[in-house]
Amino acid sequence: MLLMVLALPLFLAKTAFAENRAPVSFAYWHVWTDLQGVSHQKKCEIRNFVLESIEPPAAPQWLSRLKTEGASVVISVLPVGWIGIWHENPKPQWIIPISGRWYVQTMDGQRVEMGPGDVSFGEDQNTKPDANGHKGHLSATVGNEPCVLMMIQLKNSPTVNQPCRFD
């Protein structure tokens, strides 16, 4: 009986929250490689959110748990005017701009500028050099301030020809 009394506020909060909110989605850019070894970018959405407490008795929130075998976090500060050479992501990795702006250009010619609030999943391993010797992607800072990036590098093997694989 005591357990039911303690669980009632959480149940009521979850019910009230669920009635007032539709399920959410989260947009991100996926840098991926096709079967011919060419990198591309596609805007994707994660939609598999579940309304639950992250740790009771915390109020419910929309959660999506992406499965991974492990990860490491890297913080990178790209100086003003920084231009990288064409390269592949070292590992499948989530890239989250904290401050400043940068762009990523893939082998298909698409260029996407990102800043705080944007997210990219870099998975362009297994590309093949094009006629100019370019592999993977080109990236650089945009504007007159450094770009601070947080990268969450996964231990999972990269996929090929699976754009938006987290949807």
Check if the beta carbon of residue 124 is closer than 8 Å to that of residue 89. Answer: yes
C-alpha span between 102 and 31 (Å, rounded): 15
Mean of the pLDDT values across residues 123-141?
A: 96
For residue 52, name the pLDDT band (cuts at 50, 70, 90). confident
Is position 115 within any domain? yes
Is position 9 within any domain? no
Mean of the pLDDT values across residues 17-29?
A: 71
Q: How many residues does the chain have?
A: 167
Integer-rounded Cα radius of gyration of the chain: 20
pLDDT over 90 at 131, yes or no: yes
pTM: 0.76
Range of the domain at 142: 27-48+66-154
Domain count, the chain: 1
Centre a 10 Å sphere on the Cβ of residue 76 and count the other Cβ atoms it contains: 14
CATH code of the domain covering residue 85: 2.60.120.10
